[in-house]
Amino acid sequence: MQVGLFGGSFNPPHAGHALVAEIALRRLALDQLWWIVTPGNPLKSTRELAPLAERVALSEKLAEDPRIKVTAFEARHNVRYTADTLALVKRRNPGTDFVWVMGADNLAGFHRWQRWRQIALTFPIAVIDRPGSTLSFLSSVMAKTFDYARVDEGDAPRLARMKAPAWTFIHGPRSSLSSSALRKAARTA
């Protein structure tokens, strides 16, 4: 089975997240996509963070495809960092082929994530295009560090079965929605 792991705060989740999930399912030929709602991003303030249950419920409303499984297992296992999440998933799911799915807007700062190199060495990574981030796959620290492991976008359906490090950048339709812009609009409304 090929499973995508799509993690984030989803504060709030929006149609842009749903689009990334849809593109990942289709272009990576995934059997499932686990939409992982985190208790909180260590690199972001929790001051405006909506309750986890609310973010899960809103994510479930957006996730219309039955192959998408919305989960908050990180909170149950007291996991805070992506590297730990991936280690847990790998340990508990032998025989499943996983790929980490992230929006290109995260690629520029990926090297600030705790143990980011370990993340890249655990599972292949699919970076989905986002507005204003298309060129980040050329200039980011991660892209430069793992340039040798970049896979052609045409080989995306095989990515989950590849040995890490392996990553690809997937071009396609993009949504200009962002959670921070939606929170800002809600504050000023």
Place of tokens 């040995």: 163
CA 38/CA 11 separation, integer angstroms = 10
Q: What percent of the chain has pLDDT over 90?
A: 74
Asked if the model's pLDDT at residue 57 lies above 70, the reply is yes
Whether the CB-CB separation of 4 and 17 falls below 8 Å is answered with no
Distances (CA, A) of 157 to 11, 28, 40, 116, 189: 29, 4, 30, 24, 43
- Check if CATH label 3.40.50.620 holds for domain 2-188: yes
The per-residue DSSP string of 43-93 comes to TS-STTPPPHHHHHHHHHHH--STTEEEE-HHHHTT--SHHHHHHHHHHH-
Q: What is the pLDDT of residues 129-177, one digit of tens each?
A: 977 666 666 789 999 999 999 999 999 999 999 999 999 999 975 555 4
Q: Output the CA angle 55-56-59, nearest 5 degrees.
A: 85
Assigned token pair, 138: 């050329």
